[in-house]
Amino acid sequence: MITVHHLRIGRSIFTVWFLEELGLDYALKIYNRNDIGRAPPELKEIHPLGKSPVVDFGEFVLAESGAIATHLVDTYDDQYEFAPPRSDAVARAKWTQWLAYSEASAFAPLLVKLLLSREPDPKPQVISAFAAGEVALQLGYMQDSLGEQEFILGDRLQAPDIGFTYICNMAERLGELGPYPNLKAYMERNMARPAFLRALDRTGG
């Protein structure tokens, strides 16, 4: 049995969404953040970093959203619905790039923005300027890359869209998505999918 260790208000609902898209059976263990927004110590009993998502596959425990998504498609996506086959090296390389992107280049400036939002004014000028420039750079790149496509890799949702949607949602929560209407429409389409709504219902939002 797959067990997802889900921390409320964070990235792991997107892993739950992907499990719903795959149609897999899984158990869900839900954790609440403490008063300062950190994970409870019980999560460190599952993984030393005490972060989420963490997925227990029975024989092993796996952390990191991209690694979890890769294992899921390699193990359960026999029809290559959510990833190209490894035999298509170019398509798989592009897929891997976008899968990694949401946890690497895209996430860091938004995290800085999030931390700055919790700081009283005046904000640190150098850090604020850096974050503003980087957020605009990444969101502009995302919108240009998406273009008029329905999904980041074309006309069907694939695993990288899960993380890509998470970044859009994080930007929206930080008030940064307004100038990027294609990204906003993309996020709204994806978060209206039946599988996402099931994930939202199972996790309690």
Look at residue 97 in the predicted model and tell me its pLDDT. 98
Residue 93 and residue 61 in one domain: no
The CATH number that applies at residue 146 is 1.20.1050.10
Look at residue 142 in the predicted model and tell me its pLDDT. 98
- pLDDT, averaged across the chain: 95
Residue 93 and residue 115 in one domain: yes
CA distance 142 to 180: 9
Q: Is the pLDDT score of 39 beyond 80?
A: no
Which residue in 135, 149, 148, 118 sits closest to 177, CA to CA? 135
CA distance 146 to 127: 28
- The number of beta carbons lying within 10 Å of the beta carbon of residue 198 is 15
Q: What is the mean pLDDT of residues 8-17?
A: 91
Count of domains for the chain: 2
- Cα-trace Rg, the chain: 17
Residue 185 and residue 101 in one domain: yes
Which residue matches tokens 């695993």? 159
Residue 29 and residue 18 in one domain: yes
Dig out the tokens for 62 from the structure.
């796996």
Residue 93 and residue 184 in one domain: yes
pLDDT, tens digit, 9 for 90 and up, residues 127-181: 999 999 999 999 999 999 999 999 999 999 999 999 999 999 999 999 999 999 9
Dig out the tokens for 186 from the structure.
């993309």
Which residue in 63, 9, 62 sits closest to 32, CA to CA? 9
8 A C-beta contact, residue 196 and residue 169? no
Residue 93 and residue 77 in one domain: no
The CATH number that applies at residue 46 is 3.40.30.10
For 148-181, letters b (16+ CB in 10 Å) and e give eeebbbeeebbbbbbbbbbbbbbbbeeebbeebe
Q: How many helices (H) and strands (E) does the chain have?
A: 8, 4
Helices (H), 55-204: 65-76, 89-101, 107-117, 125-146, 159-173, 181-191, 194-203
**pTM (2 decimals)?**
0.94
Look at residue 33 in the predicted model and tell me its pLDDT. 83
Is residue 53 reached through a cis peptide bond, with omega within 30 degrees of 0 on the bond before it?
yes
Look at residue 8 in the predicted model and tell me its pLDDT. 87
Q: Is the pLDDT score of 32 beyond 90?
A: no
Residue 102 and residue 33 in one domain: no
- Calculate what percentage of the chain has a pLDDT beyond 70: 99
Residue 47 and residue 70 in one domain: yes
**Would you say the C-alpha torsion 92, 153, 176, 196 has a positive or negative sign?**
negative
Q: What is the mean pLDDT of residues 175-204?
A: 97
Instruction: Determine the structural domain holding residue 96 and report its residue range.
Output: 89-193
Q: Does residue 2 sit in helix, strand or coil?
A: strand
pLDDT, tens digit, 9 for 90 and up, residues 88-101: 999 999 999 999 99
Look at residue 198 in the predicted model and tell me its pLDDT. 98
Look at residue 157 in the predicted model and tell me its pLDDT. 98
